[in-house]
Amino acid sequence: MDALSRLLSLHPVRAALDIRCRFGEPWNLRNEALALGVAPYHFILEGRAWVEVAGQPPLALQAGDLVLFARGAAHGIYTAPPERAAAVRVVDAAAPVQLHVNDGAAGGAQPVSDFLCGQFHFESPHSNALMQAMPEVVLVRGDELPEGHGLRMLATLLRDECGGSDGSGALREGAQAVVAGLAAALFGLAMRAWLGQGGPQPGLLALLAHPRLQRAVQAMLDAPQDEWPLERLAAACHLSRATFARQFREVGGATPGDMLQQLRMAQAARLLAYGKMGTAEIGEAVGYQSEAAFNRVFKKYSGIGPGAYRRRLRGGAGDADPAPGA
């Protein structure tokens, strides 16, 4: 399994497509801040728009672009500022793939903006290394994607399922189930495209995008239980020890030891959530011979001990905390 696939399996993301909007210009849509762990996104199918987050300059969007807000920041998406465009409101849809059409779009006399709105939900947001590795605003440019790219094809499929290319609102049988499956693939395709466009800031995702250093991350993901001294990781990247250590810190924003700990704790969290192993076995599986040491590191990483973490995810079921303070 490649490094990005393994990373996505360690940090699963639940995706939802809430609504499709077709607005006649000009329009202005405001989005309130969301809880940590919920990342709203907009996928532009037709037309142009601007998106703005407080403290940052506006970003121009065009057909094929996807923008997501990793930490749920309040933002506006619009074709004209409030003084020149009436605000539009889209309430939470009672069911998936609802279509919202304003009068301008229905009349057909104005340019039309057509876009999808949804949310990505991250597990354990306070300790989710994948989410923390992303900047506040992640932008994938559609015009930089090659013909036949999965994200382009997915846009066409989603538009067809969410009311057809004409925005008629007519849904095919089984559309809601199909859209749910397509939305689940959206995050992985977006991350792959974003990595390819050189988007990552220093961190875990930047390491995955680096042609040499990604080998070190892949090695640690493949065998988190192993010891990974600098010499061994440097050899995997065909670099000297000194060059590897310097480049890893510059690109990853952390030492290899810190990154290994993040990956170990992510694997431990998955085993606690979905596996049947005891906490001592899980600690050993991710490289800790001492159960007390594993409990201490996991609590620092997630805010609670492994036993409490397991019970919280399973609604009170699971084994007891293995040690005081766990």
Note the pLDDT tens digit of each residue in 175-215.
778 888 888 899 999 998 998 888 777 888 889 889 899 99
Residue 116 burial (C-beta neighbours within 10 Å; 0-12, 13-18, 19+)? buried
Q: Which residues pair with 119 in a beta bridge?
A: 16, 40
Closest CA to 18 of 119, 152, 165, 154: 119
Task: Give pTM, 2 decimals.
Answer: 0.80
Q: What is the DSSP string of 27-59?
A: -EEEE----TTEEEEEEEEESEEEEEETTS--E
By 3-state DSSP, what share of the chain in percent is helix, strand and coil, each rounded to 5? Answer: 45, 20, 35
Domains delineated in the chain: 12-199 (2.60.120.10), 206-313 (1.10.10.60)
Query: For the ranges 88-102, 148-162, 191-205, 245-259, which has the lowest average pLDDT?
Result: 88-102
Average model confidence (pLDDT) for the chain? 84
Q: Which residues pair with 29 in a beta bridge?
A: 77, 88
Q: What are phi and psi of 273, to 5 degrees?
A: -75, -40
CA distance linking residue 225 with residue 124, whole number of Å = 22
Residue 56 has pLDDT above 70, yes or no: yes
CA distance linking residue 202 with residue 51, whole number of Å = 24
| Percent of the chain predicted with pLDDT > 70 | 85
Query: For the ranges 3-17, 20-34, 121-135, which has the lowest average pLDDT?
Result: 121-135
Pairing outcome for strands 38-46 and 112-122: antiparallel
